[in-house]
Structure 1
Amino acid sequence: MTTPRPGPGLVARRIAQYLLDALLVAVPIAVLAVLVAKYLHPRGFGAFVTFLKIEAYTVFVVWALAFWFITIWWPHRHGGRTPAMRWLKLRVVTLEGGQPPLRAFVIRALLMVVDGFCWGLAGVVIMLCTPRRQRLGDLVAGTVVVSSADEPGLPRPDGDLGAVASPQLALGGREVGLHGGERQDE
């Protein structure tokens, strides 16, 4: 893939994307945990402490599964994008520009443990030092996160539908122009 070296702005968008995806997972689980603790807690201090421990472990497991769902399954099924990547116009692609296989997303997620070292500073430093702004998970998985702002989407309001390049239509074997209702043969 011959793309120009992305600037540090891509790194900032990737940090924002990670935080948004984490919030997307954590906030509903935290709200649910608070509601469960408020309305289903047992009576007595000892039973309440035991209940909170069980709830904490359960919340951690549910959060881990939900985060893996958002970082592995969702982008694999939705064109290399997590929900926050879609909002920030980012996409995970292979080095050739194609859709990464499921194992690439698994490798990226597993190596988030290394990239997340020291509150994510290790991943940020690696991204700033690599030419394609890849973190360790991307380097090992053979993927790169690219900006998808320039991808074709819906037609722009200027009428760029891409349907007809000129005011002539090909009908059968002849070219027929649309100039004032007159037929023009070439």
Structure 2
Amino acid sequence: MAESTIITGQFVRISQTPASIGERFLALVIDYFLIGLYIFSTATLLSKLNLPSEFSWFFFLCVVYLPILGYSFLCEMFNHGQSFGKKLINIRVVKVDGSTPSIGSYLLRWLLFPIDGPITSGLGLLVVLLNKNNQRLGDLAAGTMVIKEKNYRKIHVSLDEFDYLTQNYHPVYPQSADLSLEQVNVITRTLESGEKDRARRITVLAQKVQELLSVTPREGNQEKFLQTILRDYQYYALEEI
């Protein structure tokens, strides 16, 4: 599985590798085993308590049903994107850009889990197989992915790497500040690409950037134009720190 590298607007380089289908499945098996063990333990306890029937149902609802229903959501929200199974397999949920998911993101992927699996007979597995980040429907909707914990690295980038961002630097294209992090990553990957059609891709991308930002290049070639766009974006991102 290919490792992806992202540099955020806060100048943090993030390297992450999507978890494999096997790792995610094994984590799910562990979670289900733990849930089964929990059900068995609480059922045994309930049988020994000899509670009245009305209290038994209340006990079952509060102590068994609700915790199991919200197991994955609660674990991921309070345990940095990891259920117990994910923690044992060393994988966890993050946003696609490497940041920590919001409560809404965790909630959305939890709500869509039945559609990924039980209700649609494994539609989520098919979706995972068809995208490079191994994302199920819940991940795609929430903008999340499951990554290998051991390959996840956050490295604060020294400002010395941006030697052109001095007090004397004057941005050429203020519109570059409107670019999203994903768009900046596309430009960066294209410029760093070593593929044979690199020149063509740079030309096509430069034209799209010009149309998106409504700017006219001042540079003599498209590659220098994209490099300037990146410098300007980083200049404005640095101002926000």
Q: Cα distance, 1:54 vs. partner?
A: 8.3
**Amino-acid identity (%):** 23
Number of the residue aligned with 1:126: 127
- In the alignment, structure 2 segments of 5+ residues that lack a partner are 6-15, 154-241
Q: Distance in 1 between matches of 2:110 and 2:64?
A: 14
Measured in 2, the distance between the counterparts of 1:136 and 1:69 equals: 19
- Would you say how many aligned residue pairs link Structure 1 and Structure 2? 141
Gaps of 5+ in 1: 43-50, 153-186
Partner of 1:10: 20
**2:40 alignment partner AA:** A
Please say which structure displays the higher CA radius of gyration.
1
Q: Check whether the contact 1:33–1:55 (CA below 8 A) recurs between aligned residues.
A: no
Q: Contact 1:127–1:133 at 8 Å: present in 2 too?
A: yes
Amino acid in structure 2 at the alignment position of 1:15: F
Q: Secondary structure at the match of 2:94?
A: strand
Name the counterpart of 1:138.
139
Task: After TM superposition, give the deviation of residue 18 of structure 1 in Å.
Answer: 1.4
**Which amino acid counterpart does residue 88 of structure 1 have in structure 2?**
I
Contact 1:117/1:123 (CA < 8 Å) preserved in 2?
no
Which structure carries more helix by proportion?
Answer: 2
Q: Displacement, 1:31?
A: 2.2
Match of 1:162 in 2: none
Question: 1:20 Cα deviation (Å)?
Answer: 1.3
- Write the letter of the residue equivalent to 1:82: S
**Partner of 2:84 in structure 1?**
83
Structure 1 outlier segments of 4+, above 6 Å: 4-7
What's the Cα RMSD here? 3.2
Assess, with a 3 A threshold, how the Cα gap between structure 1 residues 61 and 115 changes in structure 2: closer, same or farther. Answer: farther
Instruction: Return the offset for 1:66.
Output: 1.6
**What displacement does 1:125 show?**
1.6
